Structure 1
């Protein structure tokens, strides 16, 4: 764990069968921008993205952030910009990072892309797009964009429906999909539709709206996501190969102006593990596997953009169903939580739209 002087906030957490009292939040002021993602470098520094097309490194010893040069041209508007970030599992040897961003593909047409580069001091070198999603749209929302590396060295990428909801049901594009690709941007060789001539080979699952939270557990080889619903219907899903998660045919949400969108169930379409009505605007996801809060093992922690809190979803053994709670300590922050991440010791941290990083202690 990084050792620096920090602000410690100790507040009481909502009482429940599994709640932790005296939850502490350790605050790091990284910037003034919207921090979409952060990653911990082997030397203890923190690499992070700002949606406004800035990549920076925070040095705990000097408490300063310095900008990294060498980024590609990034489209910034609305939800578009520099988005998720991970470091390669073999970073100590190859210095490679991957990030997702909004790319202009033609005049007034934009999509989600994944960029790979080597980090040398404060500069990116040998950078290139390894993957550009087939989701061109003139709209500036629903890019998805979370990235996670698997134990086999593949990359999962979430892509939103880009405002073209019906395309989430088509296998001929990347709208509303979870993709699995190699580090060169090719389809992973054992993908579920790899032999289907009527489907794009990168597709791992489909029928998603806008997944902005993702957690991959290498021990169990399980992939979990959360995704934004419309008016209600945010979901937590366990993602399995070839499955259809229903959007927009089934959803627990409604149109923003009131009418229903579809049914809630349909044969051949997956039900969420948990859904939120009303929406909390989920962003970032951790399935907890640390040791500090043993009662929380296996619980899901999502950032709430609209609700401005860290949300815990858990299986209620007494009621035999999932439930959720707002962690009261985070309610006091009055900040939109953008990402929730594992720390190097498998504990939790989260970033906010105010430029802050908090460790949950």
Structure 2
């Protein structure tokens, strides 16, 4: 064989090796998502489907209670009882078994203007009878409605020792974007979100509380702006297992977001957004990316109008373990978002699309069942196989 032929064969071999390595690198960086498992090429990794997979097409629901108003917040008080808020300024208890409703008294004056009112209610995991229960609500301050975090105790059927922990300076003369959900971490901190209150520039102004997530100790001390650049966060939940703080917020026309919140980070609104202006097909801000500004984990175009957000931990839906559930107001369904170990969404299923209800609040009870409220006034429970 001539030296020329040997040289040509050698060159071809080098090209084939380089092509194989390049192809392998590309496939490793873009995993192939299949219905039951996640597959990567080299090294091979397989996450098998759970043994007790739920047929999501057969998930049903049952109604626990019907209320007069929008049940904005829903939390578990003890093994047998839920506590709820109505945006118009009322609160009550629901028996988890019978659905019996008990009204509560002792609320302060609530500014139920526009999207404001009595908003979220949250109960720490270590709660025992007579301890603090947390609320967000809108109140009048200097003639303007502002988002406020408060805590109170329950004595029988009456709230006592109501204390405003934080009255924000987010007031405007507009009626939208109050936020607001509450979350607790494992270090004794409480978090809550405030919307931009209809003045988008305030979300980038660190002197204004609008468009931010606030963190403080449960007694109101060590207060700080934990993150900013939010439009209207109405989903917030802390996952103890992964130590991630998850948030969902409304975009403008398109551009709803799910974010993992980190301390001190800027989440972009209104400098960057995946949404459009309401008055025309014009992008909001400077584009969808900018150095020093966080990117969302997931974006919805068109908008679904996200509400409550929870991480599922429980035995009733075992193959949902560690996944997100997100309520949708405009598209009237519950999103089941499957996550990989890094928190990246890999699959989404829309549940209860035929129900036709605006899903407002979500709750994973201590027994693993999922409860939710609707803007028509219902408190309902998911049924795993109907």
Partner of 1:35: 71
1:256-281 CA-to-partner distances (Å, cap 9, x unmatched) read: 11211120000111111000000000
Q: How does 1:324-343 map to 2 (within 5 A)?
A: 324-327=348-351, 330-343=352-365
- Between the aligned partners of 2:210 and 2:360, the Cα distance in structure 1 is 22
Within 1, Cα distance between the matches of 2:272 and 2:145? 27
Structure 1: tracts of 5 or more residues without a match: 1-15, 189-201
Q: Is 1:356 aligned with 2:378? A: yes
Q: Show the counterpart of 1:133.
A: 168
- Per-residue CA deviation, residues 286-320 of structure 1 (Å, 9 max, x unaligned), is 12222333332332211110001111233589xx9
1:245–1:271: 8 Å Cα contact kept in structure 2? Answer: yes
Determine the structure 1 residue equivalent to 2:291.
267
RMSD (CA atoms): 2.0
Instruction: Give me the whole-angstrom Cα distance separating, in 1, the residues matched to 2:262 and 2:161.
Output: 34
Q: Deviations over 1:71-101 (max 9, x none)?
A: 0110012211000001233421543211000
Give 1 or 2 for the bigger CA radius of gyration: 2
Structure 1 residue 282 corresponds to structure 2 residue 302: no
Q: Give ranges in structure 2 of 5+ residues lacking alignment.
A: 1-34, 37-52
Answer yes or no: is the 8 Å Cα contact 2:265–2:294 preserved in 1: yes
Change (3 A) 1:171 1:153: same
SS in 2 for 1:41: strand
How does the TM-score come out when normalised to structure 1?
0.86
**Residue deviations 1:227-283, cap 9 Å, x none?**
000000000000011111111111100111121112000011111100000000000
Query: Which of 252-261 and 296-305 deviates more?
Result: 296-305
Distance 2:81 2:66 in 1: 11
Instruction: Tell me, yes or no, if the aligned pair for 1:88 and 1:95 is still in contact at 8 Å.
Output: no
Corresponding position of 2:42: none
1:70 to 87, 100, 106: 106
Residue aligning to 2:328: 304
Give the count of matched residue pairs.
Answer: 328
Q: Do 2:115 and 2:175's aligned partners in 1 also have CA atoms closer than 8 Å?
A: yes
Q: Cα 1:24–1:110, aligned 2, differ >3 Å: closer, same or farther? A: same
* TM-score for the superposition, normalised by structure 2: 0.80
Match of 1:199 in 2: none
Q: How does 1:130-279 map to 2 (within 5 A)?
A: 130-188=165-223, 202-258=224-280, 259-262=282-285, 263-279=287-303
